[in-house]
Structure 1
C-alpha cells in the first residue's frame, strides 16, 4: 500500500503543535498530527498565565484544543509516535510510526518538547508539581510571601539571577545548592545583606505531607522548614533524537538550532515550542505554533504557485 501523502506532519500534541495544526488546517492544508499522549507537564495540576484559561488543568486545555481541531476535516489527529524519518531525494519526509504507519509530507514539524531528568533527592517525586515547581511564572503567585527555597545550582553562572527572580514572589527565601554554590564573594555578600541564607550541604530529602513540602533535610541532619520551592534546573533534554539524525545540531544549552519561525538548516523541517526554547509556557508555545503555521503555509503557497 502506498504511503499517505499530506502537506504537513506535526510530531507532538502540546500547545505548540496543536496551535500550528489549527492554523494549517484552517489554511486548507492536509495535516497529520501525531502525539503519544505523554506531555511534559503531566504532573502539573493547574496551568497558569494563559489568558482566558488561567488556572485550567493542562489536560483540559489539550482536550479543548483537540475538540476544536476535530471540526476540520483537514486535520487528522493520531495517538501514535514517530520512530524514524527518512528524507527523500525530492525533499519530502517519510515518517514511520510505532504502530507501523507511514506518512509522507512536504513539511515536517517537531513540537515534541523536552523530558525531565530530575535530581535524585528522596521525596522529590511526592512534591514535584504540587509544592515544588520549575517555573515561578506558572506557580509563583500561589506561593507568594510563603517561606520558599531555591533548590540546586547553575552551571551557566546564572545562580544569582535565579535567586533574584524567586525573591520577586517572597522575601522569605533560602538557597540550597546541593554542593558548592557557584557564587563569587560579592554575590555571596549580596545574599547576606538581604537576609537570604545559603546552604551548600548536599540535599538528603524533601519532607512533605500529602504533597505539601514541610522541610528540606540536608545531609548533616539540618531541617529547614519551607512551604514551597523552585528548582534551578530540571535536567531537561530533547524528547526526540530524530532531528539530530536528520542533521540538526544542538545548541550548547541543549536545544535544537533553529532560525526564524522554527525553520532548521534542513528545508521543510521546523522545530517549535520547548524543543526550540527548553521552556516557553503555554502562552508562548501557542504563539509560536501560530507563527510557524503561518510561515509554513506561506512557504507552501509559494511552492504551489
Structure 2
C-alpha cells in the first residue's frame, strides 16, 4: 500500500465486495479491497441460485472473481483486517491489523455476519453438508426427504411453512419448551408435523450425513437432512456502529437506497444489512453501490470543473 488518496476502500471479499470492486475498477477508480479470507459460507460445499454458477463451490466463485479482477490494475486486493476507521473532513482513515494505514474518499462495508451455531453436539459436523439455513440454496437437494427442523419462538411457524414447500416429512425440534402459541401447535398437528420439545442429546452423522436426532431421554428420530432457522448470526464488524451507523432490532445495519448509510461516503451491503442476502443478492448490491458511488464522483467532478 502507499499513501496516495484512494477513491474507495472495500471491506470484505465476498460476492458483494468483489462485484463492487469490479464495477469501480471498470469505472477507473483507485480501489483497495481488504479481505480477512474467512467467509461465512466457508462450510458450504456448493452454492445454488446464482445464474451460470449453480452448483459451484463458493470458494471457486471467489477465485474466478479474483482472477478476473487482475485485469484492472487500479484495483488491489490484500489479505488483512480493518481494525479501525476514523472520519476526518469527509475522508476515511483506515487502519489494518497488519499495521497499514490508508486514506479513502469512500468506504464500502461488505463484511457480512458471523454464525454462532447453537450448542447441539454433532451440529458442527453436519452444518453446510446436510443441515442448512437457506432453503433456497439447498432445499432442492433435500426435496421429499425426512427432514429435521431446528427452530423455536416466533420464527418457527413461518420457517416450517417455507420448508414444507420442499418436503412434507418434517419433524420440528425446539430443544426445550416450544415458545409458540397453541394455535401454531394446532396447525403443525393438522399438517401431521411432529413437534418435539424434549432436549436434544446429539445429532448422529456419518461423514457429514445426518442419520439421527437423539434426545436426552433416549428417544431418536431417523432424519437424512435438516434446516435451522437461526445460526446465531452477529455482525462481523462493529466499526460502522462505532462511527454512528444505526442498527435495527435484527442486528442489521440500517441503510437507504444503494447501501448508503447516514454517514456520507459510507456504504454497507450484503448480509451486514440483510442478515442473509444470497450470493447473487450480495453481488447485485455490490453493483448498485458501485454505480451509485461512481455516479457521485462523476457529479462532483463535473461541478468542480464548473468552478
Cα distance in 1 for partners of 2:108, 2:295 equals 15
Unpaired segments of 5 or more residues in structure 2?
303-307
Aligned residues of 2:7 and 2:104 also touching (Cα < 8 A): yes
TM-score (norm 1): 0.97
Is 1:203 the counterpart of 2:218? The answer is no
Distance (whole Å) between structure 1 residues aligned to residue 166 and residue 65 of structure 2: 31
1:277 aligns with 2:254: no
- Distance in 1 between the 2:206 and 2:70 partners? 42
Tell me how large the CA RMSD over aligned residues is. 1.1
Instruction: Classify the secondary structure of the residue corresponding to 1:158.
Output: helix
- 8 Å CA contact 1:115–1:236 kept in 2: the answer is yes
Tell me how far apart the structure 1 counterparts of residues 291 and 175 of structure 2 sit (CA, whole Å). 45
Q: Following TM superposition, by how much is the alpha carbon of 1:182 offset from its aligned partner in structure 2, in angstroms? A: 2.6
Deviations 1:8-49 (A, max 9, x none): 000000000001111111011111100010000000000111
| Distance in 2 of aligned mates of 1:2 and 1:161 | 51
Q: Does the Cα contact within 8 Å between 1:4 and 1:102 map onto a contact in 2?
A: no
Per the alignment, residue 213 of structure 1 pairs with: 210
CA-to-aligned-CA distance 1:164-201 (integer Å, 9 cap, x gap)? 00111100011001122232122211111111000011
In 2, the alpha carbon distance for the partners of 1:204 and 1:267 equals 50
Match of 2:102 in 1: 103
Residues matched between the structures, number = 302
For residue 4 of structure 1, report the CA deviation from its aligned partner.
Answer: 3.0
Distance 1:119 1:183 in 2: 19
Contact 1:153 1:233 in 2 (8 A): no
Tell me if the contact between 2:152 and 2:180 (Cα under 8 Å) persists in the aligned partners.
no
Shift of 1:141: 0.7
CA deviation after TM superposition for structure 1 residue 2, in Å: 7.3
Q: Separation in 1 of the partners of 2:47 and 2:179?
A: 31
How big is each residue's C-alpha offset from its partner over 1:195-222, in whole Å with a ceiling of 9 and x where there is no partner? 1000011122111011100001112211
Deviation, structure 1 residue 99: 1.3
The residue that corresponds to 1:144 in the other structure is 143
For 1:193 and 1:135, how far apart are their aligned partners in 2?
25
Instruction: Tell me the distance in 2 between the aligned counterparts of 1:300 and 1:2.
Output: 22
What corresponds to 1:288 in structure 2? 285
Paired residue for 2:17? 17
State whether structure 2 residue 68 is matched by structure 1 residue 78: no
Measured at CA, do residues 66 and 2 of structure 1 come closer, stay the same or move farther in structure 2, by a change above 3 Å? closer
Q: What per-residue deviation string (whole Å, max 9, x for no partner) do you get for residues 112-145 of structure 1?
A: 0100110111111111111111111111111100
- CA deviation vs aligned residue, 1:44-97 (integer Å, no higher than 9, x gap): 000111000100011100000001111001111111111101111x21001011
Q: Measure, in 2, the Cα distance between the counterparts of 1:77 and 1:297.
A: 19
Aligned positions of 1:1-305 closer than 5 A? 3-88=3-88, 90-154=89-153, 157-305=154-302
| 3-state secondary structure, aligned to 2:246 | coil
The corresponding residue for 2:305 is none
**Consecutive unaligned residues in structure 1, runs of 5 or more:** none
Distance 1:177 1:86 in 2: 44
Distance 2:277 2:17 in 1: 13
